[in-house]
Homo-oligomer: A and B are copies of this chain.
């Protein structure tokens, strides 16, 4: 059985993702994104699942920074999960009795219009995570409380969902990646495949105007289509920066390898994070 680190706590959205990606492996919660990277780097775990975009549980720009800083890290897969918040209570309680609603401030904020329409006069209280709120509800059946949390927390703590999908915006989603040192491609025929891509981290030699344009020329004439590009500065003010770039589709070895060779010949540092599939998860 493999050991898979994930950004915790128990019943976090990342665990909800990790449990779908690795239903049969040992899942180990970590308190921060750095620990997930370090445990993979030092071989304490086989792989890790961390958020890449839009998480309410971690500063995901940290994920970009550690992808840049951690040697030999590769991406095995990307996974997209629509964000779904559910209102849940202890099964001994009744929906019309609720006196207070607990959750992470951002989950409360993301459910604002639903709460305003249906629980206008019910007091709301911030918890450090949606999972912590769900755990509290499960341990206090004598209190008339509800939590906003995910499906996984409802299952784990045996809570009853009284309102599903109470988030205000349908299109919101969180994006996760599986990281490891194995240069493998993750595959799971139980999950819908949304596409295939490659990840590259590119560091420009210096801050010269048009440098990024020169880099993109290398991709453009090869018809290598980019689906993501994100720059990160390395210092507080202006200064050096690196880019995470996603190239759509299969990695065509000769043509694409030449692209990397060309980039390196103009003093650009290129780190190839892998070619991998993008999966759709359930929320």
Residues of B within 8 A of A80 (CB): 236-237
Per the bound structure, the CA–CA distance linking A36 and B36 in Å amounts to: 33
Q: A230 contacts which of B32, B225, B229 (Cβ < 8 Å)? A: B229
Residues of B within 8 A of A231 (CB): 226-230
Q: A132 contacts which of B112, B126, B241 (Cβ < 8 Å)? A: B126
User: What count of chain A residues pass the 8 Å CB interface test?
Assistant: 64
Contact with B along A244-283 (1 / 0, CB 8 A): 0000100000000000000000000000000000101000
Are B32 and A110 in contact, with the CB atoms below 8 A? yes
Residues of B within 8 A of A126 (CB): 9, 128-129, 132
Which B-chain residue is minimally distant from A109 (CB atoms)?
Answer: B32
Are A238 and B195 in contact, with the CB atoms below 8 A? yes
Q: A229 contacts which of B195, B207, B210, B229 (Cβ < 8 Å)? A: B229
Within 8 A of B (CB), among A189-230: 194-195, 207-210, 212-214, 216-217, 219-221, 223-230
Are B213 and A217 in contact, with the CB atoms below 8 A? yes
Per the bound structure, the CA–CA distance linking A243 and B223 in Å amounts to: 20
Per the bound structure, the CA–CA distance linking A233 and B235 in Å amounts to: 26
Residues of B within 8 A of A216 (CB): 212-213, 216
Are A105 and B238 in contact, with the CB atoms below 8 A? no
Which B-chain residue is minimally distant from A219 (CB atoms)?
Answer: B213
Which B-chain residue is minimally distant from A278 (CB atoms)?
Answer: B237
Residues of B within 8 A of A220 (CB): 209-210, 213-214
Residues of B within 8 A of A59 (CB): 54-56, 106
A53 contacts partner chain B, Cβ-Cβ < 8 Å: yes
Which B-chain residue is minimally distant from A196 (CB atoms)?
Answer: B238
Are B109 and A31 in contact, with the CB atoms below 8 A? yes
A61 contacts partner chain B, Cβ-Cβ < 8 Å: yes
User: Sorted from nearest, which 10 A-B pairs have the closest CB atoms?
Assistant: A126-B128, A32-B109, A213-B220, A210-B220, A209-B225, A213-B216, A194-B237, A209-B223, A230-B230, A31-B109
Contacts A/B (CB < 8 Å), 23 sampled: A31-B108, A32-B112, A35-B109, A54-B61, A80-B236, A80-B237, A105-B129, A126-B128, A126-B129, A127-B128, A128-B128, A171-B235, A194-B238, A210-B223, A212-B226, A212-B229, A213-B213, A216-B216, A226-B231, A237-B278, A237-B280, A238-B248, A238-B278
